[in-house]
Amino acid sequence: MTTMTGKAIGGGARYVDERLTSANFIRRSMNKVFPDHWSFMIGEIALYSFIILLLTGVYLMLFFDATAREVIYNGSYMPLKGVPMSEAYSSTLHISFDVRGGLIMRQIHHWAALLFVSSIVVHMMRVFFTGAFRKPREINWLIGVGLMVLGLLEGFAGYSLPDDLLSGTGLRIAYSVGQSVPVVGTWSTFLLFGGNFPGESIIGRLYVVHILLVPGILLALITAHMMILWYQKHTQFRGPGRTEENVVGSRMYPSYAAKGGGFFFLVFGVVAALGGLAQINPVWMYGPFNPSQVSAGAQPDWYIGFLEGSLRLSPGWEIRAFGHTIPLNILIPGVVLPGIMFGLLALYPFLEAAFTKDKAQHHLLDRPRDKPVRTSLGVMSLTFYFVLWIMGANDIAAHLFRISLNLTTYMGQVALFLLPPLMYAITYRICIGLQRSDHEVLVHGVETGTIHRLPSGEYIEVHAPVQESQLVLSPVEPDHPERIEGERGPRALVSAAGRAVGSFFVAKKKDTSVPADQRERDDDTLTKR
Amino acid sequence: MSTHDSAGGESLTGNTSASAPGDTGRPANPPSAKSPTGPEDVGPRADKRSERLVATCFGVSSLAAIAFLVVFWALPKTDVAYTPLLGVCLAVSLFGVGVGAILWAKKIMPDEEAVQERHPMYSTPEDAAKTAAVFAEGTEKTGFARRRLLRYSFLGAMGTLALPIVPIISDLGVHPRGNARQLKTSPWKKGDRLTTEEGAPVRIGDLEYGGILTVFPNGNTSPSNSLAPTVLIRLRAGENQPRPGRETWEVDGHVAYSAICTHAGCPAKLYEQQTHHMLCPCHQSTFLVTEHCRPIFGPAARPLPQLPLALDNEGFFVAGAAYQEPLGPSFWERS
């Protein structure tokens, strides 16, 4: 059996090898080691949802007609029969009601888009809070920021295509935001929309942006992201035997490939279940776009919500001088603020390196508590973002909690400036507290729960010393308090909880293995542990 | 160390039991080398059990895929359960493969922890210096630094090549000089009748006190005329406090304002007749109708533009004049 498969594979491999000389490359790739940690799979979710988006998107393309030409609807959805609407809206209804399995494809596509952006954002949080963006990975961080911004753009372009009342309102606002830019604003929106809003061109142009331009760039950037990741090797958390010079984990083939491949199907399964069971973007309920109508309580997809919120929080400022108008009430919340937010996000690795004067390469990840300033800055920024995001739905909140709509806006305006610094201070305190509890364990050992009574009558709890396997080389600076001097230099805790970081769900593996070629390669050596 | 196998077959045996690692190219560890997550995981019986479990997952997946086909064709697509059932079948068949593959990896493939050395993330100084030297030599051979004529003419040619982009892009939309004019032109002319969405003209008595009606110029409800929608509101006598000079713009308590919000261009026409507030649902700009629609809350900076009203000789409402200011959101060339 084994020899037969060996022969079959040998024959195929020889055919390829005699044309591409690929044996060494393939062997090294299969032996490539990936560290195991649940948080490393968040980025995989983004990759997998992109694949789902490509698959379902190609299917939808075959039925969708992105034209603004007006038609009279004559499909099987009775409430809209005879209503004039754009071909784009009509073909979306056709996909939803008259194509077998069309609705589930549409809904899987939309859910996968939400998951795509969500997982990118959570993945970025993971990379940020563990310091994985540090040298030598700044380029991949920049590519990641680009992927996120393009993901937002792609999502917005996508849900604007059906030309329903909700998406048309979104486009109307986008037009106004574009128009608010001084000097070039009117120019560029006229060029983009082919004239005054709504024009005849925008649906067709967004379609090209959505199915060709942005996905093409996304695909190229994802490829670059993965190639750099592959070449630089993955970061890993600290743990016994893990150093800046190695990677500890399971090999690409077969273990990681099986788990990763299986994980793709799990992600697809979740999205398929959502697409079948959870209705999303029921455009037939909104009706075709009409500039004189709008529905109350309408929210954009979640990733645009923070812009909606910032527009709502803005005070009514406008500059009128020298024959020109600058609408600060759109320009600041709609253009300047997101520009600053994404700009700071992109620049963060360089800013941190400059302020900490850290020029070293880092392959071991930080525990967030060990970098209280970075962690607090991250929580502060996220708080700012979440206030904006919640304010994108303040009308829903006002309705839900039965408070005045105006009050929610005032609360949001105050919270936007008050909460972030407050959260910075709280996070900083929590980080320091966690560091101290680590220190406590290092100095006094682990609590055993065994109570002894001394002859004097005093009760004490017995502390067991920290096991050697829970200690790693100190990740902290020399003046950092949370370390103890061991025989081999400063040591620190892997985890105060007594669990090794890096195996969140499963017990630490103790097995060893040495691949056959361990002594063959000098640069990609696998060694026995 | 058993390193007898060739590179081609060294790690292709993941589906064999961990108790026979001899042909894996890995060290001949004892059978217990599989992760000791529990004693029940070891041994040929447990191994068989794991294999059956994984196979069951794949089997369930196949069944669900077939069930998908059955639902796809057997159920009418108008059935309420059609899409949910398709989703469940698809999800189960995908989950079966996913769970099966992961269990395969976890329960059957030998658990291993491999260590790989990183390669240094920089080139040696000698390599970097050599590369720089090659580049410098190549650049020297081009004469780019010395030959000024070549350099400037080349850069000039690259610059002029960018010029054709300008007309190509500018033809995406209407002529730029027309921009501001188009935005500043009122979609309403003097004498345009106020008509409902259905095209019917409006006369006194069609609206009750506190009533509101969206009107269009002479029946033009085309979506392309996106700045035209206007609201006609009937106030009680004496409620309106017009701006100086606009006393004649109302007719018998009726006033007309642009429906397009001066903030981001949504239709701002959620009217509350008790307070005379008019709210834009997009960003909650609120306008006070009795005081020439000045903004009293939210991000809007300007009042909604007012349309002067008059009656024609048949008694229908008409525009007494065109809008006196540009409609909708602000833009650079506005004023």
pLDDT for residue A156 is more than 60: yes
| Interface-testing mutation among B115, B170, B174, B262, with chain A (most A C-beta atoms within 10 A) | B115
Report chain A's terminal Cα–Cα distance, integer Å: 31
Which residue in chain A is spatially nearest to B57 when comparing CA positions? A262
pLDDT tens track for B80-98: 899 999 999 999 999 999 9
Q: Determine, for residues B331 and A185 on separate chains, whether the beta-carbon distance falls below 8 Å.
A: yes
Topology classification of domain B181-335:
Rieske Iron-sulfur Protein (2.102.10)
Q: Determine, for residues A30 and B11 on separate chains, whether the beta-carbon distance falls below 8 Å.
A: yes
Span A430-441, average pLDDT: 86
CB atoms within 10 A of CB A458: 8
**Is A461 at the interface with chain B, CB within 8 A?**
no
pLDDT band at A470 (very low <50, low <70, confident <90, very high): low
- Count CA within 13 A, CB hemisphere, residue A233: 29
pLDDT tens track for B146-173: 899 999 999 999 999 999 998 888 888 7
Span A214-229, average pLDDT: 96
Give me the residue from B33, B118, B284 closest to A409, CB to CB.
Answer: B284
CB B29 within 8 A of CB B68: no
pLDDT band at B18 (very low <50, low <70, confident <90, very high): very low
Per-residue confidence (pLDDT) for residue A497, from 0 to 100: 40
Per-residue confidence (pLDDT) for residue B32, from 0 to 100: 39
Provide the mean pLDDT of chain A: 86
| CA distances from residue A205 to A160, A172, A199, A208, B202 in whole angstroms, order as listed | 11, 15, 11, 5, 39
Exposure letters B3-42 (e unless 16+ CB within 10 A, then b) = bebebbbbbbbbebbbbebebbbbbebeeebbbeeeeebb
pLDDT tens track for A19-65: 999 889 988 999 999 998 899 999 999 999 999 999 999 999 999 99
Span A197-218, average pLDDT: 93
Residue type, position A99, single letter = V
From A496's Cα to the closest Cα of chain B, the distance in A is 23
Residues comprising chain B, all counted: 335
From B327's Cα to the closest Cα of chain A, the distance in A is 12
Per-residue confidence (pLDDT) for residue B77, from 0 to 100: 86
Q: Determine, for residues B3 and A529 on separate chains, whether the beta-carbon distance falls below 8 Å.
A: no
| CA distances from residue A418 to A67, A108, A220, A310 in whole angstroms, order as listed | 47, 39, 41, 15
Chain centre to alpha carbon of residue B332: 26
Helix axes A42-61, A257-277, angle to 10 degrees: 50
Residue type, position B146, single letter = R
Per-residue confidence (pLDDT) for residue B171, from 0 to 100: 81
What is the C-alpha to C-alpha distance for residues B33 and B112, in angstroms, rounded to an integer?
A: 9
Chain centre to alpha carbon of residue B183: 26
CB B266 within 8 A of CB B325: no
CB B312 within 8 A of CB B303: no
- Count CA within 13 A, CB hemisphere, residue A473: 9
Q: What is the pTM of this model?
A: 0.87
What is the C-alpha to C-alpha distance for residues B231 and A474, in angstroms, rounded to an integer?
A: 70
**A517 CB-near residues (< 8 Å, 6+ apart):** A27, A31, A526, B7, B10
- Count CA within 13 A, CB hemisphere, residue B324: 14
Per-residue confidence (pLDDT) for residue A199, from 0 to 100: 85
**A452 CB-near residues (< 8 Å, 6+ apart):** A459, A460, A461, A462
pLDDT tens track for B234-247: 998 888 898 888 88
From A134's Cα to the closest Cα of chain B, the distance in A is 13
More confident position, A505 or A351: A351
More confident position, B50 or B24: B50
Contacts 24+ apart (CB under 8 A), A347-356: A348/A128, A348/A133, A348/A141, A349/A133, A349/A134, A349/A135, A349/A137, A349/A138, A349/A141, A350/A138, A352/A134, A353/A134, A353/A135, A353/A138
Q: Which helix (H) or strand (E) holds A71?
A: strand A70-72
CB B300 within 8 A of CB B285: yes
| Interface-testing mutation among B15, B97, B113, B261, with chain A (most A C-beta atoms within 10 A) | B113
Give me the residue from A173, A194, A199 closest to B266, CB to CB.
Answer: A173
Please, where are the H alpha helices in A332-480?
Answer: 337-356, 372-391, 394-401, 405-444
Span A132-159, average pLDDT: 96
Query: What ipTM did this prediction achieve?
Result: 0.84
pLDDT for residue A181 is more than 90: yes
Per-residue confidence (pLDDT) for residue A238, from 0 to 100: 84
Please, where are the H alpha helices in A242-304?
Answer: 257-277, 283-286
Which residue in chain A is spatially nearest to B15 when comparing CA positions? A254
Residue A311 — φ and ψ, nearest 5°?
-65, -35
Which residue in chain A is spatially nearest to B93 when comparing CA positions? A269
| CA distances from residue B299 to A28, B164, B283 in whole angstroms, order as listed | 59, 41, 7
From A131's Cα to the closest Cα of chain B, the distance in A is 18
- Count CA within 13 A, CB hemisphere, residue B172: 17
pLDDT tens track for B31-80: 434 444 444 456 788 889 999 999 999 999 999 999 999 999 999 988 88
**A311 CB-near residues (< 8 Å, 6+ apart):** A173, A330, A333, A334, B263, B264, B282, B283, B299
Helix axes B82-103, B44-74, angle to 10 degrees: 160
Give me the residue from B109, B172, B183 closest to A196, CB to CB.
Answer: B183
Q: Which runs of E-coded beta strand occur in chain B?
A: 114-117, 194-195, 212-217, 230-234, 254-258, 270-272, 277-279, 286-288, 294-297, 306-307, 309-311, 317-319
CB B101 within 8 A of CB A258: yes
**Is A112 at the interface with chain B, CB within 8 A?**
no
Q: Which helix (H) or strand (E) holds B235?
A: none
Of the listed ranges A140-144, B205-209, B257-261, the one predicted with least confidence? B205-209
Domains of chain A: 31-361 (1.20.810.10)
Helix axes A42-61, A214-232, angle to 10 degrees: 150
Of the listed ranges A173-182, A306-315, B108-117, B291-300, the one predicted with least confidence? B108-117
pLDDT for residue A89 is more than 90: yes
Residue B32 — φ and ψ, nearest 5°?
-75, 5
